[in-house]
Amino acid sequence: MFCQQVPTTGGIDIKIKKRIPVASGLAGGSADAAAVLLGMNKLFESGLNLEGLKKIGLRLGADVPFCLTGGAAVGRGVGENLTTISPLEDVPILLVNPGLEISAASAYQGLNLGLSRQLRDVRISAKHVKEGDLEEVSQSLYNCLESSVFQSYPIVATLRNKLGSLPESYGSLMSGSGATVFAIMHSDIETVKSAEVLKSKFSTCIATHTSPFGLKIA
C-alpha cells in the first residue's frame, strides 16, 4: 500500500522478531504495520506526514493509526479518530497469556451488538488516566469483547479473575480480543515475582510497565 502511494525502486526485505504471542490481543500486528510504515517513510524520504500515514494504516487495521501515534488516546469511530491524553507513566503491568490464539474476527462475531449497551463512560475513564489515579482506573476497566471470548474460552475468564484477585493487583482486564489478560500492579518487584509464579501454569507471563510511548518489554 505504501509503494502504491509512494513509487519506489528496488525491493524491501523485512525481518520481524516477535517477542509477544501471535493473535494475543496486544495489537502486535498493528504495531508491526505502523513500524513498517514509519520505517519506509524515513528510508525513502517520502515526506508523508502522520495524517498521511494514518490513512494508509487505517486500510490495514483499525488499531494502526493509534500505533502510529503512540502514548494514550481516546479513540472514536472505528478507532481512527484519536484524542491524545496524558499517559500513565512507569506503571507496572503484568501480561499473561494462556497459550491461545484468538482472532479478532471471531471475537467480534460472537458479540451481539443488538443486545450490547455501553456500561462505562470513556470520558470518566480518560479523566482517571490523566489524573494517574490507579484505583479509579482499575475500577473503570471494561472490555465488551469479554462476554464473547469468555463464552468460547472459559480459561480466559478464569485467568482474569485470578489476576484481579492478586493482593498486589489493582485490577485486571482482557486485552483487546484476547487471549492475553493484563493486571495493573503495585510495584515492579511484585510484578516480576507474580510472573515467575504464574509461569508454571501459563505459557506467557511478561512483567513490564507503561511508558509515554505505550507498553515496552522489561
CA 23 to chain centre: 11
Helical residues (DSSP H) of 96-153, grouped into ranges: 104-109, 122-131, 134-139, 146-152
What is the C-alpha to C-alpha distance for residues 216 and 203, in angstroms, rounded to an integer?
19
Give the separation between CA 38 and CA 30, rounded to whole angstroms.
Answer: 12
Per the DSSP assignment, residues forming a β-bridge with 84 are 73
Residue 110 is which amino acid?
A: G
Q: Which DSSP category does 39 fall into?
A: H
Dist. CA 37–CA 155, nearest whole Å: 36
Kind and range of the H or E run holding 7: none
Angstrom distance (rounded) from CA 49 to CA 53: 6
C-alpha cell recorded at residue 164: 484481579
Q: What is the pLDDT of residue 110?
A: 77
CA 200 to CA 204: how far, in whole Å?
10
State the pLDDT at residue 203.
Answer: 86
Rounded to an integer, what distance in angstroms lies between the CA atom of residue 71 and that of residue 68? Answer: 10
How much is the pLDDT for 113?
62
Task: Write b or e for each residue in 104-114: b if 16 or more Cβ atoms lie within 10 A of its Cβ, otherwise e.
Answer: bebbeeebeee
Distance (Å) of CA 181 to CA 72, 86, 206: 19, 23, 11
**Model pTM score:** 0.86
C-beta separation of 173 from 142 below 8 A:
yes
Which cell is 116 given? Answer: 450490547
pLDDT of 217: 42
Separation of alpha carbons 155 and 2, rounded Å: 40
Q: Encode the chain (218 residues) as per-residue pLDDT tens digits.
A: 888 888 776 678 889 888 888 889 999 999 999 999 999 999 888 889 999 999 999 999 999 999 998 889 998 888 889 999 988 989 999 999 999 988 888 888 877 765 555 567 888 889 999 999 999 999 999 998 998 899 999 999 999 999 999 999 999 999 999 899 999 999 999 999 999 999 999 989 999 999 766 544 43
